[in-house]
Amino acid sequence: MLKYIIRRLLIGLLTMLFLITATFFLMRVIPGSPFINDDESVAAQKQYEQLNAKYGLDKPLPEQFGIYLKGLFHGDLGDSLIKKGKSVTDIIGNSAPVTMRLGLTAFVFSMLVGIGLGTAAALSKSRALNDFVMLLSTLGVSVPNFLLAVFLMLVFGVNLHLFPTVGLKTPLHYVLPTIAVSLHPIAMISRLTRTSMLEVMRQDYMVLAKSKGTARWLVIVRHGLRNALLPIVTYAGPLIANLLTGSFVVETLFSIPGIGSEYVSSVTNRDYTLIMGLTIFMGLLVIVMNLISDVAAAMVDPRIKLDK
């Protein structure tokens, strides 16, 4: 397993290098500048040139890239070009905890509801329950989270006044954005759980466990769920990485000061250093969570060998 982890880490480093390189040069290729230069007066042009010189944007692109990599190697993500006096590290440090709280809440909610519905649908003979789970799965995959977010805001926030729709100040503030970002994961998890559970229940070892007189609920928990959850564990890595890096549109709609809204703002304002910092942070998180999910899958199912 150690060889597998080292190999994955090396692949992750190469992936990050490619991501950093592609993001850096693609941002510069797009026409425009972080600094507005609509005024054609001599004074405005001089100020524009001074800003470019201050942040090194007047240098050739390869030289700019070398300077950035050197700073990155020393742990310096630079300062925001738009938010004066704020470093990229500080901005990420302030926004990441907000997004992570929402992401972890949505992750736990998705897992509990998705696994619960999928297991119930697999074990129940109720046609209505199975139809409900399939309908939820279809809606979850088909309906974009931003459309669901707008619907929830209008119905439960504006019309019924049941839940607040701005920020994450109280537990009630988490309800609508959590549901908005959780519908798709719930749909996927419930479908995966149902399919996997139906397959596991037909296995010989399940029949043997039942024939020994073991209680049905104990057979399901001890033998059924453990083996049925393997696809869920594999799916959980990318899912939690996605949730922890924020849902850009949902955070913007609910005015949540997290990574998603910061990323949208940085792209709109062409804040090069902030875009780079957020991209690196989210890329690292995705790579690490995928590695953790692979290792967790091997721990759940000993048949999976990671040392090949």
How does pLDDT run across 229-258, given as a tens digit for each residue?
A: 778 887 887 888 778 776 778 888 888 888
- Contacts for 100 with CB less than 8 Å, ≥ 6 apart: 244
Count of positions (residues) in the chain: 308
Biggest CA pair distance of the chain: 90
How does pLDDT run across 37-85, given as a tens digit for each residue?
A: 544 544 556 777 777 777 777 788 888 889 888 888 888 888 888 888 8
Residue from 285, 274, 293, 292 nearest 15 by CA? 285
Element (H, E) at 283: helix 272-300
Per-residue confidence (pLDDT) for residue 176, from 0 to 100: 93
Residue 207 pLDDT greater than 80, yes or no: no
Average pLDDT (264-272) is 85
| SS3 label, residue 162 | coil
**CATH number corresponding to 90-259:** 1.10.3720.10
For the beta carbon of residue 51, count every other beta carbon within 10 angstroms. 16
Per-residue confidence (pLDDT) for residue 61, from 0 to 100: 86
Per-residue confidence (pLDDT) for residue 42, from 0 to 100: 44
Residue 306 or 61, more confident: 61
Mean pLDDT of the chain: 82
Residue 222 pLDDT greater than 50, yes or no: yes
Per-residue confidence (pLDDT) for residue 110, from 0 to 100: 92
Per-residue confidence (pLDDT) for residue 200, from 0 to 100: 78
Residue 88 or 295, more confident: 88
Per-residue confidence (pLDDT) for residue 46, from 0 to 100: 75
Cβ-contact 182, 209 below 8 angstroms: no
Residue 224 or 251, more confident: 251
Residue 275 pLDDT greater than 80, yes or no: yes
How does pLDDT run across 98-139, given as a tens digit for each residue?
A: 888 898 999 999 999 998 888 888 888 788 888 888 888 888
Could you tell me the CA-to-CA distances from 287 to 9, 15, 75, 184 in Å, in that order? 8, 9, 19, 22
How does pLDDT run across 167-198, given as a tens digit for each residue?
A: 888 899 999 999 999 998 999 898 888 888 88
How does pLDDT run across 282-293, given as a tens digit for each residue?
A: 888 888 887 887
- Least confident span in 31-35, 162-166, 287-291: 31-35
